[in-house]
Amino acid sequence: MRRAFIVAALLLLTSATALAQQVEVQEHTLENGLTLLMVPRPGDPNIAAGWITRFGSAYERPGVTGIAHLFEHMMFKGTHTLGTDDIERDLQIIEQLDQLKAELRTEEAVLLEKQRLGEIDDSNDPAARSPRHQELFEAFNALVAEQKSLLIKNEFDRIYTGQGASGMNAGTSQDFTVYFVNVPANKLELWFWMESDRLLNPVFREFYSERAVVQEERRLSTDSTPTGKFDEQFDAMFWESSPYSWPVVGWPSDLEGITREEAINYFATYYAPNNLSLALVGDFDPDEAIELAEQYFGRLQHGTELPQQPRTREMEQMAEKRMVAHAETNPQVEIRYHTVADGHADEPALVVLGQILNGRTGRLYKAMVEDQEIATSASGFQNGQTFEGFFQLNGVAKQEHTPEEVERGIYAELEKLQTEPVSERELQKVKNQNAASNFRALQSNFALMLQLLIREANRGWQHIKTDPALYEAVSSGDVMRVANEYFAPENRTVAIYYRKESSGEEDPLLAGLDDVERQQVGQLRAMLPQLNAEQLRQMLAQFEENASQTPEENQDLVEVVLRLIRDRLEVIGGGAR
């Protein structure tokens, strides 16, 4: 039995590594510095297409936090060609809004000073405005309303979906922002034109009103979730000096104050072609793709200012940090240790260590959920980012047990890893699982496209070929070494959550969901208003198609997701078809 297990595992590891080696990536660099990555796969009618900028929230500074995420929103607002009935009047309105906003900032500064001195309670209270402030405010809103009358809403998306494309979306992280879509193989030129046009001719229309949309997104995904605000506080406490300390969505005061001039300056630097990479995976001719890239993206000018890496690095933590909070959530503990960035020599061993602990077959679940019965869930994982990294452990206390019991249980499992070698069989099991996951990801055009972009934005796409061997080479001794190197009390930050009873009635839609699922529902609620009817119908179809394959323990969550999507379609009159 042992021999059969080892043989099967080695075959899977070999096949995953072999598949990675077989991924033939063709690379082309334009004169303006833009990189094009191509993986032709004949026979697939669609092409997974995307591009990435090495610009996430870590590249911001205090005062403009959230600007990277705001760009994600602005890039769907159209260009000189798309999104408006009258570009000339549209541009005039934008200029007038900038002028009015400059005057409004002067009035707003007066109110902020009054609030600082205690003369007023709220600088946003309309009753506190001067007559001139109110006059400017009304003129500003009138221009915003006029601009809305000129807009062609969601034209970018409608053009894509009208030509058979699907899944258009984007995402902002601390390290990058990525944009992607699946396009029919015969619509590749459309993708090159549309994506280059929004980089060549950005308008940033609805800039000031879109800040309010982001603030609402923040309210739904952070402020209205059981632990959202505490999660931000925990991050800010864990990261003493790193720019990872502020949220991707930005601090509220920064969202209110970011100017369009500041946005344009950041865009000129971080959205310049020398800071971008494109990736195509699917059925296309590489020579044709290169020709289209030169024709469309070649129009972009190399940035005059070179993008700067974040200068500030995390200080070494010298003492344990602890946070105690009361929230409308089950009693639980969150433990985080400073570790290493992506690509560090110790990262493979830390990832494997996390896989030993994680999952229903992992040590944490077996020890604390099944054997000791002190927790309902427990997990651990390594998260290596571009500049820093951490190892996180979570556990939710079972009824009549405490977060402190769960915390002690986690430390007991870490101590075993520090003192007892992991068996070869257990080590092989997690390598097998890792290889299977990598194997599936490489087979998917879309997943491969995203992997190429994210790796290229960080250490270079070539590591998609070389990293698997590093994970295969992790030994029991490596696991024990990193467990002792990083899991020291002075290197950790701990959050203990006690239950705070809700002051109001519980949302019946959330009944039966655990805390993680409730946070996911909160994030979904924040995202749904940003989607049009066609996108919602596509999302609904995907969830309906996959519902039967969802594990039984997640069926409640799927039902809630389906309900929310259908309700949103009803609200906007899109209907589910």
Q: Is residue 3 part of a domain?
A: no
Q: Are residues 357 and 253 in the same domain?
A: no
- What's the whole-number mean pLDDT along residues 289-293? 98
Q: Is residue 385 part of a domain?
A: yes
CATH code for the domain in which residue 396 is found: 3.30.830.10
Q: Is 270 helix (H, G, I), strand (E, B) or coil?
A: helix
pLDDT tens digits along 471-494: 999 999 999 999 999 999 999 999
CA distance 338 to 480: 17
pLDDT tens digits along 30-47: 999 999 999 999 988 899
The last residue of a domain, from among 240, 269, 299: 299
Q: Are residues 80 and 90 in the same domain?
A: no
Query: Between 321 and 541, where is the model more confident?
Result: 321
Q: Is residue 516 part of a domain?
A: yes
Q: Are residues 474 and 546 in the same domain?
A: no
Mean pLDDT of the chain: 89
Please, which pLDDT band fits residue 517 given cuts at 50, 70 and 90?
confident
Q: Is residue 305 part of a domain?
A: no
Backbone angles phi and psi of 195, in degrees to 5 = -70, -40
Q: Is residue 132 part of a domain?
A: yes
Q: Is 277 helix (H, G, I), strand (E, B) or coil?
A: strand
- What's the whole-number mean pLDDT along residues 461-468? 92
Q: What is the b/e burial string over 127-144, where b = at least 16 CB atoms within 10 angstroms of the residue's CB?
A: ebbeeebeebbeebeebe
Please, which pLDDT band fits residue 537 given cuts at 50, 70 and 90?
confident
Q: Is residue 338 part of a domain?
A: yes
Q: In this predicted structure, what is the pLDDT of residue 124?
A: 86
Q: Are residues 222 and 274 in the same domain?
A: yes
Q: Are residues 267 and 326 in the same domain?
A: no
> In sequence order, what are the residues at sequence separation of 6 or more whose Cβ sits closer than 8 angstroms to the Cβ of residue 235?
244, 245, 246, 247
Residues linked to residue 46 through DSSP beta bridges, in sequence order? 184
Q: Are residues 449 and 329 in the same domain?
A: yes
Please, which pLDDT band fits residue 562 given cuts at 50, 70 and 90?
confident
**Number of structural domains the chain divides into:** 4
Q: Are residues 461 and 411 in the same domain?
A: yes
Q: Are residues 145 and 197 in the same domain?
A: no
* Host domain of residue 551: 508-572
Q: Is residue 19 part of a domain?
A: no
Q: Are residues 284 and 329 in the same domain?
A: no
Q: Distance of CA 560 to CAs 509, 536, 540, 543, 554, Å?
A: 7, 15, 12, 11, 10
The last residue of a domain, from among 499, 534, 561: 499
Q: Are residues 138 and 160 in the same domain?
A: no
Q: Are residues 416 and 443 in the same domain?
A: yes
Q: Are residues 280 and 238 in the same domain?
A: yes
The last residue of a domain, from among 479, 499, 519: 499
Backbone angles phi and psi of 13, in degrees to 5 = -60, -45
